[in-house]
Amino acid sequence: MSPGALLFMALAWIFVLGLTFWSFARILRAQAHFAPDGIGPAAPPVAGRAEGPGHG
């Protein structure tokens, strides 16, 4: 493989993995979590911005 192809492949993977981690971090920050086994908060999670009324 040529050095240009390796560089392109590395940059593409960095972009894909970065976008994946950014997306999951945004999803996890957008919603409050609770543990139903009694360890976490007593209230269920608040619906996120992407969820309409009646979800959760």
pLDDT value at residue 26: 84
**Residues 6 or more apart whose Cβ sits within 8 Å of residue 50:** 30
pLDDT value at residue 14: 98
24 phi and psi angles, rounded to 5 deg: -65, -40
Tens-digit pLDDT profile for the chain (56 aa)? 899 999 999 999 999 999 999 998 888 776 655 556 656 666 666 666 666 665 54
pLDDT value at residue 36: 62
pLDDT value at residue 27: 80
Alpha carbon separation from 31 to 22, 37, 53 (Å, rounded): 15, 18, 14
Place of tokens 């240009």: 4
30 phi and psi angles, rounded to 5 deg: -75, -15
How far apart CA 30 and CA 53 sit, in angstroms, is: 15
* pTM assigned to the model: 0.51
